[in-house]
Amino acid sequence: MTWRREKMGQILYGADYYPEQWPEEVWLEDMKLMKEAGVNIVRLGIFAWASIQPEEHRFEFGWLDRIMDLLAENGIAVHLATATASPPAWLTHRYPETMNVDVNGHPYRHGSRQHYSPASKVFRQYCAELVRKIAERYKNHPALFMWHINNEHGGHLQKDYTPDAITGFREWLQRRYGTLDELNDQWGTAFWSQKYSDWEEIGPPSTTPIAFCNPGQELDFSRYMNDCLLELYLNEYRILREVTPDVPILASFMMEFKWLNYYEWAKHMDVVGLDTYPDPRLGIPVSQAMDFDMLRSMKDSQPYLLMEQVTTQVNWRRNNAQKKPGQMRLWSYQSIARGGDGILFFQWRQSKAGAEKFHGALVPHSGDVNSRVYREVRQLGEELQRLEAVVGSRIKARTAILFDYENWWAVEMAGKPSADIRYREQVMKYYTALHELNVAVDIVQPHSDLSGYDLVLAPTLYMIDAATADRLERFVESGGTLLTTFWSGMVDRNDRIHLGGYPAPLRKLLGIHVEEFDPFTPEQTSSLQMVDPDCSGDYSCSLWADIIRLEGAKALGVFTADYYEGYPAVTENAYGKGSALYVGMFPEQKLADKLIRHLAERLDLLPDILVPSGVETSVREDNGKSFQFVLNHLEHPVVIDLKGRSCVDLITGSSFAERIELESYDVAILKWK
Amino acid sequence: MTWRREKMGQILYGADYYPEQWPEEVWLEDMKLMKEAGVNIVRLGIFAWASIQPEEHRFEFGWLDRIMDLLAENGIAVHLATATASPPAWLTHRYPETMNVDVNGHPYRHGSRQHYSPASKVFRQYCAELVRKIAERYKNHPALFMWHINNEHGGHLQKDYTPDAITGFREWLQRRYGTLDELNDQWGTAFWSQKYSDWEEIGPPSTTPIAFCNPGQELDFSRYMNDCLLELYLNEYRILREVTPDVPILASFMMEFKWLNYYEWAKHMDVVGLDTYPDPRLGIPVSQAMDFDMLRSMKDSQPYLLMEQVTTQVNWRRNNAQKKPGQMRLWSYQSIARGGDGILFFQWRQSKAGAEKFHGALVPHSGDVNSRVYREVRQLGEELQRLEAVVGSRIKARTAILFDYENWWAVEMAGKPSADIRYREQVMKYYTALHELNVAVDIVQPHSDLSGYDLVLAPTLYMIDAATADRLERFVESGGTLLTTFWSGMVDRNDRIHLGGYPAPLRKLLGIHVEEFDPFTPEQTSSLQMVDPDCSGDYSCSLWADIIRLEGAKALGVFTADYYEGYPAVTENAYGKGSALYVGMFPEQKLADKLIRHLAERLDLLPDILVPSGVETSVREDNGKSFQFVLNHLEHPVVIDLKGRSCVDLITGSSFAERIELESYDVAILKWK
Amino acid sequence: MTWRREKMGQILYGADYYPEQWPEEVWLEDMKLMKEAGVNIVRLGIFAWASIQPEEHRFEFGWLDRIMDLLAENGIAVHLATATASPPAWLTHRYPETMNVDVNGHPYRHGSRQHYSPASKVFRQYCAELVRKIAERYKNHPALFMWHINNEHGGHLQKDYTPDAITGFREWLQRRYGTLDELNDQWGTAFWSQKYSDWEEIGPPSTTPIAFCNPGQELDFSRYMNDCLLELYLNEYRILREVTPDVPILASFMMEFKWLNYYEWAKHMDVVGLDTYPDPRLGIPVSQAMDFDMLRSMKDSQPYLLMEQVTTQVNWRRNNAQKKPGQMRLWSYQSIARGGDGILFFQWRQSKAGAEKFHGALVPHSGDVNSRVYREVRQLGEELQRLEAVVGSRIKARTAILFDYENWWAVEMAGKPSADIRYREQVMKYYTALHELNVAVDIVQPHSDLSGYDLVLAPTLYMIDAATADRLERFVESGGTLLTTFWSGMVDRNDRIHLGGYPAPLRKLLGIHVEEFDPFTPEQTSSLQMVDPDCSGDYSCSLWADIIRLEGAKALGVFTADYYEGYPAVTENAYGKGSALYVGMFPEQKLADKLIRHLAERLDLLPDILVPSGVETSVREDNGKSFQFVLNHLEHPVVIDLKGRSCVDLITGSSFAERIELESYDVAILKWK
């Protein structure tokens, strides 16, 4: 099944829509404004359970029928939610076992959202009943375009400690390990006398004051919770697929939360979508760029959706800055530039009441269509209608970053030599270097096929299995270039050490032995000198130093301080037809930039069109057509040298040859002639 | 009924007295020292429940009879407590339902204080029984002067999550809203599917991780808890009023705690009293001055009591500085200067044991009557006896600050554009400017009659109802001057947005539309230029910037930085016979001072006698007599120009004409001849 | 009974050994490596409960028999643990009452360690059964050398709030106080109406928001918990003593935890041992030196064991620095230098799995015997074999520091004038001064015999009973010199004030009256001038200032700032044949150093051999033989003047006369000829 987007043939533009919060007379005004603003899709019903099923045995579909019809009449597609994101008070009151319980055993209370137990059999049953009712009712409705299941899984509810969850965990463990002997071995329960002699003895992970919990138990509970929430999703997915086999199904992702392995989830979705709220105070939203690249990579470069963002400001930071004029438009275009085909917002009309009334919207509290923000909304809506040609085009990358959710969990568990290693920060260091150079990059999985890539970066790959180590070895052997960094190759999938000298499974490939390591305080730094002629110079590093013994590799850089002065800090090992680099400390950005530029030049990965720092560029391609996106994140205009190629800007329709000048915060989408 | 104070005709001077902590031989020594120190009142029995009723069916009044008699013999009035502040162990042990329960469902334990459930019916019943016993026993006792109910309500116990409290909350909501439809509408439960279909489904407010609770529910729970604690007070009040209709009744206030709306409580008191413990490291206790002004305003300028302060140092700060020589006397006089008629301390004799043994007292652990502190205590006692003329005199103010407890709760709830707005800090900014100029000010309620004032300040009046907006409009229309500030006029009494462009209910009056706002980080500032000739200059601001569109008002100042450079920052709108000013950011103190001086001069609000910065002055009046208080908070002497008027200083008895010189930390009370 | 160490006649060298974590083929490799490394002892079985008793009615001793035999064959002594440190899952699952409960009433879960309730009768019964089984089985085993009970009592489990613990607390109180009247008096329950009328009403200490708990209750609960954990220890001790009357018994101490009074525990041990993990970033481990001195003092200078340390880095700090080359050896020798006869590590072979796999060990994950760390391990093992002469020799000191665990608890309870007084920090200030001068010091108890000392330091002796005050008075009277400091002599053993002017029980001895005190903020300092000719100069102080009235003492220094400018800051009082000094503020280190040097010179306490700052020296003696330890903590070599005495270095065997040169981080043990 293909995503219906292509039926529509245009960039999707829209928002969450909560008509249940407004009297019906406002709905007509909404229709008028939506069309005026270029809105072609709304997401409906996310928090409508209590409105659809106000009491256990009473369903009220009338209001939803009316708004569905109205949207259909106005040509606005509906991304219809299953309404299970926030169960109604009658459900949690009458069936208290459906309520989540926190790590201390305190049951949640009604009055916020996502207060359910995802493991609850009773909860899943009520979800299933509701979803079937909704699916049957609207399966043939002309407005129905896509299904949205629940909402932001794992965003406001990440763990479950109900009896149902604990039982579920035990069953999950039985399926995973078969026998208690195997579990005891994999968890290393010989340590601290933790051995289990009965499945019933096993519970969720636990600490005691000044002592850590079993890492295997902690990792598996995280895996179980991911699977438990995924099962909650699939509980609805199966019904929707059965009733409406042709309607695309998805749920939304939030990349700042680490507890769901979205790569696994994406397999069960027809399209993927992201909720993204970068702080407007950021210069360039590099982190959002990485999120888009990751999202795109989850479905093999198939276009994705920006599912939620805000026009102005959110209300959940300590201080919620306003987006400056032009910033919303610029950052919206980043989603298209990196491979998306739709831009949606939370939400259409700013709420009058409730916990998110100060969260921005397309229509502000004033209702003022002449306000600065609404004018920008309308402008963007108009522009997007000119981008039909872009729809469906794709990004192609020869560089990959290897990213592993379970490694993320493992790296940041307690009891490590350093509690300050943040996996995303490690990855971002190198992603930032690639972004600065506008090198296209996919963000792939440990078990992904790497054969299409020239360069693979795998920062801090602490947890690695033999198969992945082997895959990396074959990648380099056959000519690839690999860069990995300190705190890689340490443990297996159950956090058990790979014995035999760090980083044991990569030791041969990298040609080094990490004999010791020295973690730093946050205030501490060390220094190194790059001896490689291509990126020579003195640099500082923070967080960590490896004490490396060369076993075939050569030193590209050496430490110039501390007791390991003169020891290798960066190494490279020729292996087969390729090469494997190792960075044995956390470099300042300047050095990461230099290393990546060095490799990008060597492997000819730099883009044709060169842009100044602060300008983002990318290329989407489709059947020989190629669209060059240029985004000026700077506070001043820039001139881009087009190297004599002629093009037309899809947004303005203007043609350019020699060069193009872009205002501060402006965007161009160049179609080469 | 009038407060018995007038029978006594002198400034009250005394302390909490806990004879139950000492052997009876110490009592006689106490009587001697009290008289020597000028003490004419003690507060007795606050924590005496376990001493009066050591077991459920045994009362021991003998000791209390003896000390009451002894005090009467020595001419010391008794402010007798109802002893309900800390229930005895037998009560909470035998009736565990009388124990409070915290937000996580953990019951309190015995061993501190205020561990009761104010909602508990059983607890109220035992209180009532005890209070009736005490009232009946001492109703005709010659020492009985006033009643003190419980203690520091809401100081150490602010919320209650017992089943009784939850039931009470539901009943309170039924009384407030009548129907669930009304409640659902007022709370905006259409948001996040929070709609209730049965009263039993409603509980106390609740969050989930990374999600806020319903603001209407949170506000109403705060209202309910205020009412619940007030009902606990009234439970005792009704009995005391019935048994002793002529004895004044009060409880003590603590202005740093925001959860009790003392304006409501004051209606049920014959006199109001304040517990105040400013940090001795403060230069001038401006915040204490505001507390006194607020206290005075609660009972229409009727003299109040400083109910508790400390001679030396407290024991609950992280580091508890000692009061410097003279500081206790100076800060005590501030209470008289701002309209009080009594000064009491916690406590008479410093405890030998327990949690507050390091809290200062009149008689220190050493018992040393020659100690520096005790000498100051005795001196103050002597001086106060010369102030009979002042008793009953009142402050008159033509300026008012509008202060709203429920607004305080609402402003500081979660989910706002900025979590750093502190309501009292906003009010203090302008109060400080008034205090610096020694402009007398009342601190009134949103529904107060404003007709007697020339200037009304209403900083950050986020929550406002239509009636208040209308009252302010009529105040300006008929010639008043109003100053309000950013984050005003946003929501109704249930935290629902006033639609129609901020600040909707004040938009016409202020002649502006706040189209956007931009909250700052704590490190961030912006800048503005005052263009008004009366207070021109360049200033900085912090916390917040409004982006204002003028709709009739003129700009007194404009921003000089950020994307709103050139936009109005301070505006003034002529309206009817008056004028309405708006401050669209959080100004540095210098600018607030300048704005207030500008208005005070324009409206002729400055006092006759001008004093240097650091000197506090105020005037109390009574039947044509007028007393000018002058307090030198500086570390050096000052000279005050009396403008040729002759006066006598009530403290020293000395006469002055041209000028008076005041030593560092010294005080004068000038009676004009 | 004497410690079996003497049978062995050499310095013990070894580690924790967990063969249950490894396949038996690794055991043989272990034996080979142990002998090669000079290991002569291992501690076995600490976390082996689940391995020994995998199910309630099944014991598996086979593996333990085999490893015991193997160790015996290889001449390695076994410090055999009772295996009770971490109960198996079947026990806590089947008998949930054996699980600890935290202060909020949450039961612990399985999956970490020390999750048991020490008060649980059922738990103690299962411990007893296991211990008897182990003792009977190995009582005659040739490898058995010492018993280790449980592990790190109080390290990961400090309190117990189970019903068993609460009942136990009540019984403990009944034994301590006999009557409720006595308890009410000692706890001062007249305060805040806390009086108890039935033992059943008493529970663990409790606070309410913004209010403190009863200090007597809090102190007694700490005492009870110490006794409860000690009883858990004795529960096993009695069985071991009965079954093996000649085998030494001990448990390990951790000086950073304050909740166990190790002086009391040491009485029930045949030898004492310390687990110590100073941060490798420290220059000199002065705090570890004090721990060794304290440990030595607990058993009257009998040699102790360094029971646990790490070769490289731990894994429980935020950032766990690597020990530099030479640092492990240098810091190990500190334990011998200060009176120890054994050095053990956690652990022998670095774990492959579990919560402590990143904690360093003798054999690293790599198993690499050529690694830097393993080479240092082997070198130290070799060297220690040359130190037979040192075994059993002792330190002699003429200076004592008075240290009181219960005072530690009392000083750091809430509700004090300053929450920033840390008892150990106060003691360390003066210990550091002594250490800098290499003055030998014992760390004794309030009730210790002081007659052998010339100088006694008693910093911040807040809690003091009459007997101790009297003992100090007699010590000075008969010629001793005492130095005590601010915040001394305040309360009795139940935290009740000594009335009569601070510091009442020491007022006569010190010849002063502390009339007031003024605690500082952390940012605040004051200044003073020493007027005594022997240590004149200007100094700063922090934290606190006493306002002192001289009553016979003379001022050695006076404050030069604040309102107490000119008041005494340091005083000395001639009393009997001796002298009593008082330091009325928290001096900068320079002043503490100067004061201590002044006293050490006056009392002739300085060592014969003088070393530069940064070099540590000490003397152990045995039957006329004397061993001078010299440890160079500096990063550069030093030369020590031997004053013409000849000696031989036990480590190198080299002879020296005039002087000895020591490399950075090097150590010499000089035997005088």
Each residue of A339-390: pLDDT tens digit? 999 999 999 999 999 999 999 999 999 999 999 999 999 999 999 999 999 9
In A178-310, at which residue ranges do the beta strands (DSSP E only) sit? 249-250, 252-253, 273-275, 304-308
- Confidence at C198, pLDDT banded by 50, 70, 90: very high
Q: Which of chain C's residues have a Cβ under 8 Å away from the Cβ of A216?
A: 353
Residues C74, C34: contact at Cβ < 8 Å?
yes
- Single out the residue of C460, C452, C79 nearest to residue C300, CA to CA: C452
**pLDDT at C340 > cutoff 50:** yes
Token digits for C247?
């085998």
Please, are residues A473 and A480 in contact by the beta-carbon 8 Å criterion? no
Minimum CA–CA partner of B94 in chain C = C201
All residues of chain B having their beta carbon less than 8 Å from the beta carbon of residue C522 are: 319
Neighbours of chain B (3+ CB pairs under 8 A): A, C
Q: Report chain C residues whose CB lies below 8 A from the CB of B104.
A: 104
Q: What contacts C416, CB < 8 A, 6 or more positions away?
A: B315, B358
Q: What is the ipTM of this complex?
A: 0.95
Mutate which of C183, C189, C192, C542 to disrupt the B interface (most B C-beta within 10 Å)? C192
CA A224 to chain centroid, in Å, comes to 20
HEC profile for C181-204?
HHHHHHHCCCHHHCCCCCHHHCCC
User: Is the previous residue joined to A125 through a cis bond, with omega within 30 degrees of 0?
Assistant: no
Closest to C11 (Cα-Cα) out of C255, C304, C249, C271: C304
Q: Can you tell me the mean pLDDT for A435-449?
A: 98
Two structure tokens written together for B265 = 């409580």
Contact between B187 and A353 using a beta-carbon 8 Å cutoff: yes
d(CA A645, CA A647): 7
**Does the bond joining C519 to the residue before it have cis omega, within 30 degrees of 0?**
no
Chain B hits for A18, CB-CB cut-off 8 Å, are: 190-191
Contacts of A217 in chain C (CB under 8 A): 111
CA atoms within 13 A on the CB side of A238: 9
Instruction: Tell me the average pLDDT of chain C.
Output: 96
**CB pair distance less than 8 Å for A214 and C111:** yes
CB contact (8 A) between residue A104 and residue B104? yes
Q: For chain C, say whether A316 makes contact (Cβ under 8 Å).
A: no
pLDDT band at B392 (very low <50, low <70, confident <90, very high): very high
Phi then psi dihedrals of residue B573, to 5 deg: -125, 120
Report yes or no: A318 at the B interface, CB cutoff 8 Å.
yes
Of A86, A87, A319, the CB nearest to B519: A319
**In angstroms, what CA-CA distances link C449 with B254, C475, C479, C493, C508?**
52, 9, 15, 19, 21
Distance CA C574, CA C554 (A): 9
Q: Report the C-alpha gap between A486 and C243 in whole angstroms.
A: 53
- Phi/psi region, residue C643 (left: phi>0; alpha: psi -120 to 50; beta: rest), is left
The three-point CA angle B579-B584-B586 to 5° equals 120
The arithmetic mean of pLDDT across residues B470-493, rounded, is 98
Assigned token pair, C427: 């003691």
- Tokens of residue B673, six digits: 């001849």
Tell if the CB–CB gap between B93 and C419 is shorter than 8 Å: no
Q: Is the pLDDT of residue A1 over 60?
A: no
Tally DSSP H helices, then E strands, for chain C.
Answer: 18, 27
Output the six-digit token pair for B95: 């009736």
DSSP string for C250-294: E-EE-TT--SS-HHHHHTT-SS-EEE----TT-SS-HHHHHHHHH
- Most B CBs within 10 Å, among A352, A356, A359, A372, to test the B interface: A352
Interchain CB distance below 8 Å, B352 and C188: yes
Report DSSP letters for B437-500, one per residue.
TT--EEEE-TTS--TT-SEEEETT--B--HHHHHHHHHHHHTT-EEEEESS-S-B-TTS-B--S
Which residues make Cβ contacts (< 8 Å) with residue C29, sequence separation at least 6? Answer: none
Residue type, C48: A
Contacts of B88 in chain C (CB under 8 A): 193, 195, 197
SS3 of A603, please?
Answer: coil
pLDDT value at position C4?
A: 65
Report yes or no: C484 and C461 within 8 Å, Cβ to Cβ: yes
Please name the residues between 276 and 305 in chain B that touch chain C, using a CB distance below 8 Å. Answer: 281
Q: Do C353 and A197 touch (CB under 8 A)?
A: no
Q: Which amino acid is at B185?
A: D
With an 8 Å Cβ cutoff, are C367 and A499 in contact?
yes
- Helix/strand/coil (H/E/C) assignment for every residue in B638-659: EEEECCCCCEEECCCCCEECCE
Q: Report CA C565 to chain centroid distance, whole Å.
A: 39
Measured between beta carbons, the chain A residues lying within 8 angstroms of C365 are 497, 499-502
> Phi and psi for B515 in degrees, rounded to 5?
-80, -35
Q: What are the two backbone dihedrals, phi and then psi, of residue A173, each rounded to the nearest 5 degrees?
A: -65, -40
Query: How many whole angstroms separate alpha carbon B345 and alpha carbon B329?
Result: 12
Tell which residue, B401, B394, B293, has the closest CA to residue B619: B394
Classify B146 as helix, strand or coil: strand
- pLDDT exceeds cutoff 90 at B316: yes
Q: How far is A227 from chain B (nearest CA, A)?
A: 20
Q: Are A30 and A349 in contact (CB under 8 A)?
A: yes
Cβ <8 Å between B112 and C417: no
Among the ranges given (A1-10, A120-129, B96-105), the one the predictor scored with the smallest mean pLDDT: A1-10
Taking only the tens place, the pLDDT of each residue in A393-414 is 999 999 999 999 999 999 999 9
Judge: B366–C499 Cβ closer than 8 Å, yes or no: yes
Collapsed DSSP state (helix, strand, coil) of residue A635: coil
Whether residue B621 lies in the annotated active site:
no
Catalytic residue from among A218, A308, A376, A616: A308
Chains touching A, CB cut-off 8 Å, 3+ pairs: B, C
Q: Is the pLDDT of residue B663 over 60?
A: yes
Strands of B109-221 (E only): list them. 144-148
Q: Is residue C2 predicted with pLDDT exceeding 60?
A: no
Answer whether B417 sits within 8 Å of A315, measured CB to CB.
yes
C-alpha C184/C-alpha C189 separation (Å) is 5
Which chain C residue's Cα is nearest to A514? Answer: C366
Statement: residue A499 has pLDDT above 70: yes
pLDDT tens-digit readout, C584-628: 999 999 999 999 999 999 999 999 999 999 999 999 999 899 999
* Residue B391 amino acid letter: V
Mean pLDDT score of chain B, rounded to an integer?
A: 96
DSSP H helical ranges for A304-367: 327-337
| Neighbouring residues of C439: CB distance < 8 A, sequence distance ≥ 6 | C399, C596, C600, C605, C606, C607
Report pLDDT digits (tens) over A190-237.
Answer: 999 999 999 999 999 988 888 899 999 999 999 999 999 999 999 999
Q: Which chains touch C (3 or more CB pairs under 8 A)?
A: A, B
Question: Using the 8-state DSSP alphabet, how is residue C77 labeled?
Answer: E
Kind of pairing, strands C481-485 and C252-253?
unpaired
**Chain B contact for A26, CB < 8 A?**
no
Place of tokens 């013990």: C12
User: Of B25, B36, B129, B152, which residue is the catalytic one?
Assistant: B152
What are the residue numbers of the active site of C? Answer: 152, 308
Residues of B in contact with A354 (CB under 8 A): 188, 190-192, 194, 214-215
Give the DSSP H or E segment for C234: helix C215-243
Q: Could you tell me the two tokens for B623?
A: 């039947």
Neighbours of B128 (CB within 10 A): 16
Q: And the tokens for B53?
A: 């009723």
Distance (Å, whole) CA C75 – CA C8 = 11
User: What ranges make up the beta strands (E) of A163-302?
Assistant: 249-250, 252-253, 273-275
Alpha-carbon torsion, ordered B471, B476, B482, B487, to 10 deg: 50
Which of C105, C197, C521 is the closest to B55 by Cβ?
A: C197
Distance from CA of B366 to the nearest CA of C (A): 4
Interface contact A180, partner C, CB < 8 A: no
Q: Does C566 touch chain B (CB under 8 A)?
A: no
What is the model's pLDDT at position A233? 98
What are the angstrom distances between the C-alpha of B653 and each of B328, B383, B575, B670, C199? 22, 10, 50, 9, 61
Contact (CB, 8 A) for A260 and A151: no
DSSP category for residue B302: -
Test C415 with B315 for CB contact under 8 angstroms: yes
Question: Which A positions 504-543 lie with beta carbon below 8 A of chain C?
Answer: 513, 515-522, 524
Please name the member of B105, B496, B515 whose beta carbon is closest to the beta carbon of A371: B515
Position with higher pLDDT, B156 vs B54: B54
pLDDT tens per residue across span B588-604: 999 999 999 999 999 99
Q: Do C420 and B373 touch (CB under 8 A)?
A: no
**Dihedral sign from CA coordinates of A20, A25, A30, A31:** positive
Flag whether residue A375 sits within 8 Å of chain B, measured between CB atoms.
no
Task: Sort residue C483 into left (φ over 0), alpha (ψ -120 to 50) or beta.
Answer: beta
Contacts of C269 (CB under 8 A, 6+ apart): C249, C250, C251, C299
* Predicted local distance difference test score (pLDDT) of residue A454: 98
B451 interfaces chain C, CB cutoff of 8 Å: no
Predicted confidence band of residue C1 (pLDDT cuts 50, 70, 90): very low
pLDDT bin (cut points 50, 70, 90) of residue A17 is very high
Q: What pLDDT is recorded for position A2?
A: 55
A114 touches chain B (CB under 8 A): yes
A89 and B417: CB-CB below 8 Å? no
**How confident is the model over C90-145, as pLDDT tens digits?**
999 999 999 999 999 999 999 999 999 999 999 999 999 999 999 999 999 999 99
Put simply, whether C353 touches A (Cβ < 8 Å) is yes
Find the residue in B nearest to C419 (Cα): B318
Mean pLDDT of chain A: 96
Nearest to B363 by CA among B341, B379, B346: B346
Q: Which residues pair with B483 in a beta bridge?
A: B457, B581
Q: Cα separation of B154 and B226, whole Å?
A: 8
Nearest chain B CA: its distance from A66 CA (Å): 17
